[in-house]
Chains A and B, each alone.
Chain A
């Protein structure tokens, strides 16, 4: 039978300073871990919310981002004619062929500039992907030099406010609206009519990407195979959501990797902190521990008890760490997406799973830190322990 839990809880409370010092070490580690993972999670979820599983996204074979892709007008019509492409009530295929490029814009209130994605499209067609919500101003008038700016970049880059003018390849475009798309990465883009934008960027002869709605999304694999084997096309097809999610993989991995690296260094510190506290506790309670063993508690029970005690301290730290990190939830930040070399803004996302993971991690830290002191406690020679202080 185990040594009662209350014994450990009260011992932890009995030494508030040592408990707090150890807990703070764990708390900081956990906070850093959470921040890094909330960053990665926010980035990933922004990109994965950018697409739908019912849509297929087409890139030129070999292109790994929208910007570097290219599709001809002929390819667009072959793709649109596929029997698995859904049709609108009017009979037109549900497909959006878009021009995608980047421009470099200076940041507001911060040094430097960043690449911003510019998407030329037709409002009628983009509707099958997503309908932007205009939160200020109005949408662009087709065929004119008007653009609308995503909500995530409007306040953060120069010339992006409604009423401003942006020079695209020296030609002025008027910002007439600001839009949101339910948190997807489109909110970090500038949109305008493809017919007005394409000539400016010398892209009249085709598009960068195409997105088509499938009649039967489960037939995707067959459709992909057929298209990718077609010598007239030379394209690569992916489910829209999968594509955008995969666009986040490199950056997400980098953020996570960096987070894990920093967390690991801090965790080693926290681990030694926990071990130190527990070694001191074991040393101070030598006679008490010997008495427990004399009463007949097994070395395993004593060891478990001290591991539990260390875990309690670390969990207190873990909870603190979560409380420290929680306020970053929802804070907007941005980074360059290394796949597309354009700026993507997103929010830190501290998800419940992340909190659970963090708490489990803090418990593991505590258990590991307490292990060696606990082994020492359990294996002390009884007769000597009883004589000691």
Chain B
């Protein structure tokens, strides 16, 4: 079985009594260590698919398994525990806690693991050094540039050593140069640390970094 296995997944949303189908029997396989770019027009269901793989949402029907666990039927609490051990999520708008410092933001996911404070600090510091922000530990998000914020968010996503990194338009809100830094970082996480990455993007230039391009259109994959 593939590292990420999406099988015959349907996803419907209920909007004012009318069911709209976002994913229509979609299947996808991603191997361990792959770097996949997911492209497609706005509204084609990219975020929805990423959320399903990340256990943030559940499919209407079909199966999804990640690193050997079938998550389609897990309960909310089981999914929450599973996410904290398996998934690192990177958002378009970074989603850092504004009132916490860079270090505290990166420590946050580690609070869900058995670990003392010193160990937590050590790991979070290491993750921030890895993304090139070892000198910004005490900075608050508003004291950082967009590119730096996104790198803090990447540090947060990788600090608990997840099995899959999911990035939803990670450069969508960044200028060219910062975007480039973020892409280089993701590439390095893939080649050097063997992280499996699924990245949604609009930018063909960004998609070039990936091993594989997957196009999504109207709820199904196109070649």
Closest chain B residue to A9, Cβ basis: B99
Contact check, A288 vs B95: say whether CB atoms are below 8 A apart.
Answer: yes
The A contact surface, by secondary structure, is helix
- The contact of B97 among A288, A294, A299, by CB within 8 Å, is A288
Contact check, A297 vs B80: say whether CB atoms are below 8 A apart.
Answer: yes
A212 at interface, CB cutoff 8 A: no
Select the stretch in B50-58, B66-74, B211-219 that faces chain A.
Answer: B50-58
- The contact of B77 among A2, A10, A295, A298, by CB within 8 Å, is A298
Give the distance in Å from the alpha carbon of A365 to the alpha carbon of B95 in the complex. 31
- The contact of A294 among B89, B98, B100, by CB within 8 Å, is B89
B108 to chain A, nearest CB (A): 6
B111 at interface, CB cutoff 8 A: yes
Give the distance in Å from the alpha carbon of A6 to the alpha carbon of B99 in the complex. 9
Give the distance in Å from the alpha carbon of A62 to the alpha carbon of B47 in the complex. 84
B112 at interface, CB cutoff 8 A: yes
**What size tier do the contact residues of chain B reach?**
20 to 34
Give the distance in Å from the alpha carbon of A191 to the alpha carbon of B97 in the complex. 72
Closest chain A residue to B107, Cβ basis: A4
CB-CB under 8 A for A294 and B54, given A4-B104, A7-B97: yes
B76 at interface, CB cutoff 8 A: yes
A53 to chain B, nearest CB (A): 55
A231 at interface, CB cutoff 8 A: no
- The contact of A7 among B57, B77, B95, B100, by CB within 8 Å, is B100
Give the distance in Å from the alpha carbon of A321 to the alpha carbon of B112 in the complex. 37
Contact check, B91 vs A386: say whether CB atoms are below 8 A apart.
Answer: yes
What is the number of residues of chain A that contact chain B, defined by CB distance less than 8 Å? 24
Contact check, A6 vs B56: say whether CB atoms are below 8 A apart.
Answer: no
B185 at interface, CB cutoff 8 A: no
B152 to chain A, nearest CB (A): 13
Residues in chain A near residue B97, CB distance under 8 A: 7, 288, 291-292
Contact check, A382 vs B104: say whether CB atoms are below 8 A apart.
Answer: no
Contact check, B95 vs A293: say whether CB atoms are below 8 A apart.
Answer: no
A335 at interface, CB cutoff 8 A: no
Give the distance in Å from the alpha carbon of A299 to the alpha carbon of B77 in the complex. 8
Give the distance in Å from the alpha carbon of A148 to the alpha carbon of B215 in the complex. 102
- The contact of A1 among B83, B95, B111, by CB within 8 Å, is B111
Contacting B at CB under 8 A, from A276-300, are 287-288, 291-299
Residues in chain A near residue B51, CB distance under 8 A: 382-383, 386
Going nearest first, the 6 A-B pairs with the smallest beta carbon separation are A296-B84, A10-B99, A291-B95, A1-B111, A383-B57, A296-B83
Given A14-B99, A291-B91, A296-B84, output 18 extra A-B contacts at Cβ < 8 Å.
A2-B111, A7-B100, A10-B99, A287-B95, A288-B97, A291-B97, A295-B108, A296-B80, A296-B81, A296-B85, A296-B109, A298-B77, A382-B51, A382-B57, A383-B48, A383-B56, A386-B95, A387-B47
8 cross-chain CB contacts under 8 A: A7-B99, A14-B98, A288-B98, A291-B91, A295-B83, A296-B83, A296-B84, A386-B95
Q: Could you list which residues of chain B lie within 8 angstroms of chain A, going by C-beta atoms?
A: 47-48, 51, 54, 56-57, 76-77, 80-81, 83-85, 89, 91, 93, 95, 97-100, 104, 108-109, 111-113, 156
